[in-house]
Amino acid sequence: MSLHDLYRDYQDQVKFLMIYIREAHPRDGWWLGGGLPGLGLKLSGSKVSTDIYDPKTMDERRDVASQCVTALEYEIPTLVDDIEDSVNQAYAGLPTRLYLVDLDGVVAYAGGLGPYGFKPGELKAAMELLLAVERV
């Protein structure tokens, strides 16, 4: 089960938004592009970019977000967090996180931190439960 699968199957029932936050592994930060980690990404066929610098302006962040959406082939509508990282700070999104927010704005599901806590199957179960409750 992938996030793409969830979007395809539930987009008529659930509003999906991807929020691009701070770059997780910029060249001028916690970079994975050099040495063995970078080689591992290249050999694995990962679509993760290893040559991005941490954006300093909103235009730069939007450009990097656009590259990410294109590389990962996301169809999910994507917004970009502001340069002060307001969404990331409010939702502890770094490096990757899944959330389900109900119609009242209450967090109904908060997934674990990625990559190991990024579990679309758990999100699917939470969505199905929430949808069942809302239908009653």
Rg value, the chain, Cα: 16
CB atoms < 10 A from the CB of 123, how many?
Answer: 21
In 25-116, DSSP assigns E strands to: 78-80, 99-101, 107-110
What is the pLDDT at residue 92?
Answer: 84
Task: Supply 122's token pair.
Answer: 């758990």
| Integer Cα distance of 9 and 21 in angstroms | 25
Does residue 97 contact residue 113 with C-beta atoms inside 8 Å? yes
Instruction: Give ∠ CA 36-61-85 in degrees, rounded to 5.
Output: 95
What is the pLDDT at residue 91?
Answer: 87
SS3 108: strand
Task: Give me the torsion for CA of 68, 21, 80, 72, rounded to 10°.
Answer: 20
Task: Supply 95's token pair.
Answer: 């490096």
* CATH number for the segment(s) 3-135: 3.40.30.10
What is the pLDDT at residue 37?
Answer: 46
Does residue 22 contact residue 95 with C-beta atoms inside 8 Å? no
Across the chain, which has 136 residues, the per-10-residue mean pLDDT values are 92 94 72 50 48 88 90 89 93 85 94 89 97 80
What is the pLDDT at residue 40?
Answer: 45
